[in-house]
Copies of this chain bind each other. A is one copy, B any other.
């Protein structure tokens, strides 16, 4: 009964006592959202309580339809809505079908699309392998291996995060694809545009030196 003495999000979430049941229920549901703890979840609920009823109903409706409308592309696994089994990118005849860009998650694909520099296709891996356990955590490695065997695909770009997890995944995928004998490339490393040399870490600066042209 002294919540301030108890650490750990889940116990604190349970101990929210002055809120009514449906508020508590929603707080616990929002608490499971990524980056959201019980305090932020409570702010969400009180924000919703202050919204006009129609707006809350709109969110509710959009959520209810989400899983019905959205399906994953059979080629790249991008969630999309509409006819067919392929997303707008994979079904776009003007795109270069010889390059396949492997990303960890959907927002990464979106970031690359926004550069307007890449006209090939994608593959969403859906996660990283754990650098500690050296084991994939439900990433789509089998589907990638199958997809990469497509004779149209000549180059596979591994556009994974320059983090420990991303590096481990890159290594894992490189080994996985090795038997296919296809060109496997990685994103260039170096100084980020707008960054300052003075504040660049050693690894980044080493990569920039190595990648000079």
Q: Are A70 and B29 in contact (CB under 8 A)?
A: no
B-contact 0/1 string along A30-68, CB 8 Å cutoff:
000111000110111111110001001111111111110
Closest B residue to A28 by beta carbon equals: B62
* Count of chain A residues with a beta carbon within 8 Å of a chain B beta carbon: 60
**How near does chain B come to A37, taking the closest CB pair, in angstroms?**
11
A 91-135 contacts with B by CB, 8 A:
105-107, 109-110, 113-116
Which residue, of A23, A25, A113, A115, has the highest number of chain B Cβ atoms within 10 A? Answer: A23
Q: Are A107 and B22 in contact (CB under 8 A)?
A: no
Given contacts A4-B114, A106-B42, contact A47 B33 (CB under 8 A): yes
Q: Are A66 and B42 in contact (CB under 8 A)?
A: no
For A107, give its contact among B20, B43, B63 (CB under 8 Å).
Answer: B43
